[in-house]
Structure 1
């Protein structure tokens, strides 16, 4: 059996030596999972259940990732909220996506749930911050609570999201802001139509969101 040799993906600002002097406002101060004191509470509250290893460190529910360290705000599960906004019906259906400023790909206008915030509140906030669209008076359909194949994940820190579907009769004005470089209504009569439109625009769909979007469109079929 070959030896497991994961890569440490911890950025400079989250290295233990850096955290000893300054903790970014988006991250917890724990230098390693051993410094976290509330693992039972985190396990009980997790969107996707996970276990601890013999050291008491969290283990990615999906298995080994080939990466260790932390490039996310917290060790263990990091909660996200992904509002999927669809307008119109049939071949005229459109979906609202943003161009992320970190990876420059088309994605759902979502983000991390803030401390003390509920998923429903995060859905509304993230959508408003990134597109200017306020759907606080709409009741979405929660489609799932799932692991996300996020590019920042490691064996000991990962993302799980609540994805919810908002259905509008017609498109509304959307303006990119916050973590979004652009906000676009794409044709979404089917996944094939969506991916064709994104490719024609010279852009790429964020792979980690493809299954979430496909599930939303299947729900509307």
Structure 2
């Protein structure tokens, strides 16, 4: 899995930087190509073949977790600039809102964090996912956690840690993921069983991000790079509570 921004030099990522030679790669999968959408629309995706077919950009921009602009054509532009990819490999054009519940048990060096093994890319990650239409981020946090691990924290009140762009492997210049990350604190571990998009679920040492890296590496696994900033923010918050 390659991070798409690696194909774009840092000094050329900004949309305000003139780069007439820029030729992003179209990563739209077969099921989201215009001809396919005209026949059948996947349940997880909108029917718009291009951003020009979307007619509620004012509302989408108003509700966005991270502000974004439109180009001269009226197409959404990734808030962090060029990605090296174009087209759409996500459910919606523009921002795709996600929820990432960070579940931690215990304290200090004995802390552990609940992660899943993602079925799509085979790495250890926060058990999150996309916010459904009509759903709030807090509702999505609880639902995604329950669907992917069997852990039901509906009675808990999470601490919202941030609302950020996630460097998702599917992002393009015109479609990206913004996530609400939240911390759930438990006194002890609870049973977690992988389901839905997860092929594994378990608790990992979480006294620090470095401790987590070492444990995951020792198990021959890899931590999802896009979730590292979210997990580090959780560590920083927990350390302030000492």
Query: What interval of TM-score do these two structures reach, taking the shorter chain for normalisation?
Result: over 0.9
Deviation (angstroms), 1:201: 0.8
Deviation (angstroms), 1:2: 6.5
1:20 to 18, 24, 38: 38
Find out whether 1:10 has 2:10 as its counterpart: no
For residues 193 and 166 of structure 2, the distance between their equivalents in structure 1, rounded to whole angstroms, comes to 26
Alignment of 1:23-62 (within 5 A): 23-62=41-80
Find out whether 1:164 has 2:173 as its counterpart: no
Find out whether 1:187 has 2:209 as its counterpart: no
User: What residue in structure 2 maps to residue 130 of structure 1?
Assistant: 148
Kindly provide the CA deviation profile for residues 39-86 of structure 1, in whole angstroms up to 9, marking residues without a partner as x. Answer: 000000000000000000000000000000000000000000000000
**Aligned residue pairs: how many?**
221
Kindly provide the CA deviation profile for residues 2-21 of structure 1, in whole angstroms up to 9, marking residues without a partner as x. Answer: 61010000000000010010
User: What residue in structure 1 maps to residue 98 of structure 2?
Assistant: 80
For the residue of structure 2 that corresponds to 1:20, the secondary structure is: helix
Q: TM-score, normalised by structure 1?
A: 0.99
Q: TM-score, normalised by structure 2?
A: 0.91
What RMSD, in angstroms, separates the aligned Cα atoms of the two structures?
A: 0.7
For the residue of structure 2 that corresponds to 1:31, the secondary structure is: coil
Deviation (angstroms), 1:90: 1.0
For residues 187 and 15 of structure 1, the distance between their equivalents in structure 2, rounded to whole angstroms, comes to 43
User: What residue in structure 1 maps to residue 12 of structure 2?
Assistant: none
1:206 to 193, 205, 224: 224
User: What residue in structure 1 maps to residue 111 of structure 2?
Assistant: 93
For residues 78 and 68 of structure 2, the distance between their equivalents in structure 1, rounded to whole angstroms, comes to 7
Deviation (angstroms), 1:198: 0.3
User: What residue in structure 1 maps to residue 128 of structure 2?
Assistant: 110
Deviation (angstroms), 1:25: 0.5
Kindly provide the CA deviation profile for residues 132-151 of structure 1, in whole angstroms up to 9, marking residues without a partner as x. Answer: 00000000000000000000
For the residue of structure 2 that corresponds to 1:74, the secondary structure is: coil
Where in structure 1 are there 5+ consecutive unaligned residues?
none
For residues 36 and 190 of structure 1, the distance between their equivalents in structure 2, rounded to whole angstroms, comes to 43
For residues 25 and 62 of structure 1, the distance between their equivalents in structure 2, rounded to whole angstroms, comes to 28
For residues 92 and 2 of structure 1, the distance between their equivalents in structure 2, rounded to whole angstroms, comes to 53
Find out whether 1:154 has 2:164 as its counterpart: no
